[in-house]
Amino acid sequence: MLMDTRSIGQQGEELAAAYLEQQGYRILARQYRFERAEIDLVCFEPAPRPEDGGEIVFVEVKTRRSLDFGRPEEAVTPEKRRHLIRAARAYLYEHHLQRARCRFDVVAIVLRNGQPPEITHFKDAFWAE
């Protein structure tokens, strides 16, 4: 059965959220929207030492069924990054977290028929200018 792009993306986001939670992240928001930009997952990663706090992590999830059109992470273009940065600034402002430490991660997922998902997590994938 062929899955449409939206359901593939939804499945990827669910897998990414479960993966990140297993790594100790807390999901704060899913599909946060600001104007035309959307952040797939907004997470909190606690620091190894509680007194060090932690970081807000804005996560872009890219999911593919094959590598015919390149690796999923290659789809995070400079324009996409600009949209994510703008939405992240809005999220931080809206939640009074402008001073919080934060970063941008990409979770790339490849779903091949009959195989377990291939999940690659790129921490600090890009920075806000």
What pTM did the predictor assign? Answer: 0.92
Q: Which residues constitute the domain of residue 19?
A: 5-126
Determine the number of helices (DSSP H) and then strands (DSSP E) in the chain: 2, 5
Which CATH number covers residue 38?
3.40.1350.10
Mean pLDDT of the residues in the chain: 92
pLDDT tens per residue across span 21-35: 999 999 999 999 999
pLDDT tens per residue across span 64-98: 998 888 999 999 999 999 999 999 999 999 999 99
- Give me the pLDDT at residue 49, please: 84
Q: Under a CB-based contact definition with an 8 Å cutoff, are residues 60 and 108 in contact?
A: no
- Give me the pLDDT at residue 76, please: 95
Q: How many domains does the chain have?
A: 1
> Greatest CA separation found in the chain?
49
